[in-house]
Amino acid sequence: MKIGYPCINLTLDCRSNHTFRLKNYSKERLESTIEANLNCLQKILEFNKDNKILFFRITSDLIPFASHPILDFEWKKHFKTAFEDLGAFIRKNKMRITMHPGQYTVLNSINEKVYESSLKELFYHVDVLDLINLDYSAKIQIHVGGVYGDKKASMERFINRYFRLDNKIKNRLVIENDDKNYTLSDCLKINEKASIPIIFDVYHHQCNNLGEQIKEAFKRVSDTWKEKDGIPIIHYSSEHPIKKRPSHADTIDLIHFKNFIYLTRDFDFDLMLEIKDKEISALKALEIISNDARFLQN
């Protein structure tokens, strides 16, 4: 079991998600921004290594405007070596990496233009993970998408479009249950047809479910991950103590977390903590699982 956090490290004084306004776009500005982002990413990974955090989500903002028509800079060629170095570091330290395209990536959109730009965005994410030279356990996770008043048709549209995807994307793409539209049960139905692995988000499930208990859910979800996909990925958060659902907690609730770890003791998985204080909570979680057999076997 590896513990991870998404995109941003709050302890370090650098960010790997620097961007700028489209109206200020220039090749030079893009190059210097990417360079700063890659440098910071390296620092974050070093921090993670030093703190035994072996799971991390790379921000989609790593390359600003990567799928935008304005882009006129060959960033893949230009930063080839930097990506190779990152890859060597990640593989040497047996880290797991994921990426999560934003809310504008909607594979099942009824708007053809949105569908096309979503494909571009998926290729961008694939390019990053391919340049870093990671195996297919490095996943790109998306939600199923929009409902458009007809969930059945929208799920079928997702499946049909999934089948037509380039293998480069299919090898890495996974779906995650969301807090409003597509439940675990919906994702499992899609998996039956498309064999796409499912990231189970425990907190989303709490917000949006058909009554499945955690253990039952873990069993079903684990079966969707094949050998080449790596062990299952689980997303964990708990609800904010004051704000109403679906607000994520500001920091980890240690009692809730201990209970979760105990409940899932029969399963092995990598755990992404979607909690606002990022690595602070990840470090607390690590301490709790430091004597767990699933952690020790890594």
Partner DNA sequence: TCACGTCAAGCAGAT
Partner DNA sequence: ATCTGCTTGACGTGA
Indicate the residue among 154 and 222 with the shorter CB distance to DNA.
Answer: 154
Q: Is residue 27 part of the contact set for DNA (CB under 7 A)?
A: no
Indicate the residue among 67 and 294 with the shorter CB distance to DNA.
Answer: 67
Among 42, 133, 181, 209, the residue binding DNA under the rule CB under 7 A is: 181
Q: Which pair of tokens denotes residue 214?
A: 């955690």
Among 60, 222, 224, 281, the residue binding DNA under the rule CB under 7 A is: 60
Contacts by residues 236-239 (CB-CB < 8 Å, ≥ 24 positions apart)? 236/202, 236/203, 236/260, 236/271, 236/272, 236/273, 236/274, 237/201, 237/202, 237/203, 237/273, 237/274, 237/275, 238/203, 239/203, 239/206
Sole window of 55-63, 127-135, 190-198, 282-290 interacting with DNA (rule: CB under 7 A): 55-63
135 φ, ψ to 5°? -75, -175
* Contacting DNA within 158-177 (CB under 7 A): none
CB of 67 to DNA, least distance (A): 4
Sole window of 74-82, 108-116, 209-217, 256-264 interacting with DNA (rule: CB under 7 A): 108-116
Sole window of 58-66, 77-85, 221-229, 252-260 interacting with DNA (rule: CB under 7 A): 58-66
The footprint of DNA on this chain (CB under 7 A) covers a number of residues equal to: 49
CB of 276 to DNA, least distance (A): 5
Sole window of 17-25, 41-49, 84-92, 129-137 interacting with DNA (rule: CB under 7 A): 17-25
Which H or E run contains 222?
helix 214-222
Q: What is the rounded CA–CA span in Å between residue 281 and residue 275?
A: 7
Q: Is residue 241 part of the contact set for DNA (CB under 7 A)?
A: no
Q: What is the rounded CA–CA span in Å between residue 289 and residue 3?
A: 9
Question: Which whole-number Å values give the CA distances from 18 to 12, 14, 45, in the listed order?
Answer: 14, 9, 17
